[in-house]
Amino acid sequence: MKIIKKIRTILFYILIIGGFSALVYWIITVGKGLEKGEKITTKAISANSFNEFTDSFVENLHHPAGILLLQVIIIIIAARLFGAVFKKMGQPSVIGEILAGIVLGPSLLGLYFPEVSQFIFPAQSLGNLQVLSQIGLVLFMFIVGMELNLNVLKNKAHEAVVISHASIIIPFAMGVGLAYFIYASFAPKGIEFASFGLFLGISMSITAFPVLARIIQERNMQKSRLGAIAITCAAADDITAWCLLAVVIAIVKAGSVFSALYTILLAVAYVLIMLKVIRPFLQKLGNTHDSAKGVSKSLIATVFLVLLISSFVTEAIGIHALFGAFMAGTIMPENTKLRSLFTEKIEDIALVMLLPLFFVITGLRTQIGLLNSPELWEVTGMIILVAVLGKFGGSAIAARFVGQNWKDSFTIGALMNTRGLMELVVLNIGYDLGVLNAEIFAMMVIMALVTTFMTGPILNLIQKAYKSSTAAQAASTMDKTI
């Protein structure tokens, strides 16, 4: 019976496919008669058919969709390779991903293989790439907001706020001071000193909360008192720095503090609505959600609408869409399982596919070749020195003042000095606003890389130095007892 059924199925398939194919052929043949009187040119098969095929193939590659897909493929491969190499070196993978972007930009690929660079990253295609990268950044900032544990912030606020705010105001003031000396040489034409100085100050004040959190996790410090203080400081730093950045952007766009007053008032109203109206609403939704049954589509849609509307409102107000995404993340329900589910859903596509696009956009803007004189590298060194002294020194001194020992104070300073991706976000905002020119942008990108790269070695050095010191003290005590 099974064999007969199989034969019947095959015969039916042949009759259906063959019969209807014959019908289609007959209709097309009869339809030829309808072409009478129409001026139809029939292409003859030429000897150059292969050339025609290659021309068509190249044209397809230059299609916006084709070139965008090619760019994404190359970027993801480069980011994963460089990230893996730096992870094996004991460094955060984000450093490798940033370097991958610089390598694909004019500093290396564009310098030595300009034709290849022009083919992969033609100027007319960068708009699509930038839009995709901005979507990735919005999703990433949403994750950063969700990863902040505001309960921990409340519990350790007295120490964290002092350390965090000191680690912002000291480098901020030093950045503004540095701007005074380099404004005449490096500020773009038409940019007021206040805008340039404030942006340089905020650029010096940033801490990369996600990178810091991952370093603490990799070193198994998350359950220790020191790890909890460092995470809390970084969380307070993130919230304060992004609020300050929103104010600075408003001032830069408006032209003065008084002109920005309306933007700042609207921003305050927006924050109050998010905290007093949207947050309780989301909390109710979170309380009714049973994580064991999975996330409902209506809840996912609601969360994404809050994210998109929040980002749109802050962009419209004039304080950047990324602040809205960050704020949307912080007001998500405190249900840990729910936050983890959303993080898992968004993190893969945001961090693996879309975020590397942002690194390449940054790399395409970073022209290290512009730093072609000893004087320019001296200024770069000065920027790095001011950044390290302000952030590392400010954090360590404040930590020591609130009662931490010197080892823990230096450790907090080293961690807070990590800038990573968050610094690049701020720098790109400054570049888009026209506050930073190509030279100062390249210098600041180098500073972000150096300060992130040095975190691991400095932590190892502190650990080694104080371990040796403890061992020496123990040996000295034993000698005295003997």
| Residue 92: predicted pLDDT | 81
Residue 3 makes CB contacts below 8 A (sequence gap 6+) with none
| Residue 335: predicted pLDDT | 76
Candidates 3.40.50.300, 1.20.1530.20, 3.40.605.10, 3.30.360.10; correct CATH number of 98-465? 1.20.1530.20
Locate 318 and state its tokens: 């004039």
SS3 42: coil
Amino acid found at 17: I
| Residue 278: predicted pLDDT | 93
| Residue 290: predicted pLDDT | 57
| Residue 43: predicted pLDDT | 57
Locate 12 and state its tokens: 């039916």
pLDDT digits (tens, 9 = 90+) for 257-315: 677 788 888 888 998 999 999 999 988 887 776 555 666 788 888 889 999 999 999 88
Predicted confidence pLDDT, tens digits, the chain (482 residues): 788 888 889 999 999 999 999 999 999 988 887 877 666 666 555 556 667 777 777 777 777 888 889 999 999 999 999 989 988 888 888 888 889 989 998 988 988 899 999 888 988 888 888 888 889 889 988 988 887 766 655 655 677 788 888 999 999 999 999 999 999 999 998 898 988 999 999 999 988 877 787 788 777 776 677 887 887 788 778 778 888 888 888 888 876 667 778 888 888 899 899 999 999 998 888 777 655 566 678 888 888 999 999 999 988 888 888 888 988 988 888 777 778 888 888 887 888 888 888 888 888 889 898 998 999 999 999 999 999 999 999 999 999 998 889 999 999 999 999 988 888 889 999 999 999 999 999 999 999 999 999 998 999 899 888 876 655 554 455 454 55
Would you mind telling me the total number of residues written for the chain in this entry?
A: 482
* Model confidence pTM above 0.75: yes
Locate 366 and state its tokens: 């970073």
Distance CA 237, CA 165 (A): 7
Distance CA 362, CA 102 (A): 7
| Residue 49: predicted pLDDT | 64
Neighbours of 266 (CB within 10 A): 17
DSSP class of 370: G
pLDDT digits (tens, 9 = 90+) for 5-22: 888 899 999 999 999 999
Amino acid found at 462: I
Sorted by where each begins, the domain ranges of the chain are 98-465
Distance CA 191, CA 180 (A): 13
Distance CA 235, CA 238 (A): 5
Structural contact between residues 359 and 97, judged by C-beta atoms closer than 8 angstroms: yes
Residue 302 makes CB contacts below 8 A (sequence gap 6+) with 282, 285
Structural contact between residues 67 and 122, judged by C-beta atoms closer than 8 angstroms: yes
| Residue 260: predicted pLDDT | 75
